[in-house]
Amino acid sequence: MLSSFSNIVLLSMLSVDSAFAAGGKVFRRSSSLKAPQVIVQLFEWNWVSVAAECPFLGSAGYGYVQVSPPNEHITGSQWWTDYQPVSYQLTSKRGTRAQFANMVTTCAKYNVGIIADAVFNHMTSGSGTGFAGSPYTKYSYPAAGYSPSNFHYCNGDGTASNINNYQDAYNVHFCELVGLADLAQEQDAVRQIIANYLKDLLSLGVVGFRIDAAKHMVDADLGVIYTLVNSTYPGFYDTQEVIYGAGEAVQPSQYVTTGDVIEFRAPSSVLAYFKGSPGIAALVTPTPMGAAWGFVDSSVANYIMANQDTERNTPPTSLTHNDGQKYILSAIFMLAFNYGKPTVYSGYTFSDSDAGAPQYSNGSTKAVTCGLNGWTCDHRSPAIANMVAFHNAAGSAPLTNIQQGSSQQIAFGRGSQGFVAINNDAGTWARTFSTSLPAGSYCDIIHDTTTDPSVCNGPTYVVSASGTFSASIGPSDALALFTASPASTSCTVPPASTVVTITFDITVTSTVQGDTVKIAGSIPQFGSWDPTAAIPLSQTSSIDWTVTMNLPPGAYFECKIIRVSSSGVVTWESGSNRVYTTPQTPGLIVTLSGTFGSTTSGSASTSTPPAATPQGCSSSSSSASSSTRASSSSSAHQVSSLTASSFAASSPSTVASTKSSSSSATSSASSSSSTGASSTASPTPASTAVTVIYAEQASTGPGDVIKVASDKLGNWDPAAALPLSQPSPNADWTRTLTLPPGSYFQYKFIRVSSSGTVTWESGPNRVYTTPSKAGSVVTLYGIFGSTTSSSSAVTAGATPTTTSHQASTSASVTFSESATTASGEVVKLVGSIDQLGNWAPASAIALSNSNGVWSVTLALPPNTSFQYKFIRVKSNTVVWESDPNRSYTTLSQGSSVTLSSSFR
Q: What is the DSSP letter of 205?
A: T
DSSP string of 702-749, one letter each residue:
TT-EEEEEESSSSTT-GGGPEEPB-SSTTSPEEEEEEE-TT-EEEEEE
Q: What distance in Å separates the CA atoms of residue 247 and residue 177, rounded to the nearest whole number?
A: 20
Distance CA(31)–CA(273), nearest Å, equals 31
- For 359, phi and psi rounded to 5 degrees? -145, 160
| Annotated active-site residue in 53, 72, 182, 212 | 212
Q: Which segments within 260-378 are labelled E, that is strand?
A: 260-262, 301-304, 341-346
At residue 225, the 3 state secondary structure works out as: helix
Helix axes 47-60, 97-109, angle to 10 degrees: 10
For CA atoms 97, 102, 104, 105, the dihedral sign is: positive
* Phi, psi for residue 519 in degrees, rounded to 5: -115, 125
| Whole-angstrom distance, CA of residue 747 vs CA of residue 616 | 13
44 is catalytic: no
Give the CA dihedral 234, 235, 241, 244, nearest 10 degrees: 120
Any idea what DSSP says for residue 70? -
Is residue 573 part of the annotated active site? The answer reads: no
Element (DSSP H or E) covering residue 220: helix 219-230
Decide if 26 contacts 224 (C-beta within 8 A): yes
Let me know how many helices (H) and strands (E) the chain has, helices first: 8, 49
Instruction: Classify 691 as helix, strand or coil.
Output: strand
- In angstroms, the Cα distances linking 345 to 281, 328, 412, 845 are 23, 11, 24, 31
Among candidate residues 53, 241, 378, 883, the one labeled active-site is: 241
Q: Which residues contact 272 (CB under 8 A, 6 or more apart)?
A: none
Any bridge partners for residue 477, and if so which? 423
| β-pairing verdict for 500-507 and 516-521 | unpaired
3-state secondary structure of 26: coil
Is the preceding peptide bond at 278 cis, omega within 30 degrees of 0?
Answer: yes
Residues involved in catalysis: 212, 241
